[in-house]
Amino acid sequence: AQSVAQPEDQVNVAEGNPLTVKCTYSVSGNPYLFWYVQYPNRGLQFLLKYITGDNLVKGSYGFEAEFNKSQTSFHLKKPSALVSDSALYFCAVRDTPGGSYIPTFGRGTSLIVHP
């Protein structure tokens, strides 16, 4: 079975500071991992994914995520936060091979960037 956890309901960071949004996962095989962002009154937008290869994945809007197999984590990071980064962030996982085609989403982490 596949599962994902986002241990923080909310993350607060000052503008200009680095940010980290945490995600841990559990799969039987190898994970496909995804990060999405949701702005108010909008659908989820794809940010980045890890499928295989380099553990550091770069995505949209200056975000990156680091895959750590030993810690089963896929934390989202950005070197310098912007107020406009304030949004709801979702981590998702698919188990491969043979896992569910349907990704499992975390409950989301609200990121608040203070001016």
Partner 1 sequence: DSGVTQTPKHLITATGQRVTLRCSPRSGDLSVYWYQQSLDQGLQFLIHYYNGEERAKGNILERFSAQQFPDLHSELNLSSLELGDSALYFCASSGGGSNQPQHFGDGTRLSIL
Query: CB of 36: closest distance to partner 1 in angstroms?
Result: 8
Distance between start and end Cα atoms, the chain: 41
| Nearer to partner 1 among residue 69 and residue 107 (C-beta) | 107
Per CB under 8 A, residues contacting partner 1 are 32, 34, 36, 41-46, 49, 51, 90, 94, 96, 99-103, 105, 107-108
| Nearer to partner 1 among residue 65 and residue 81 (C-beta) | 65
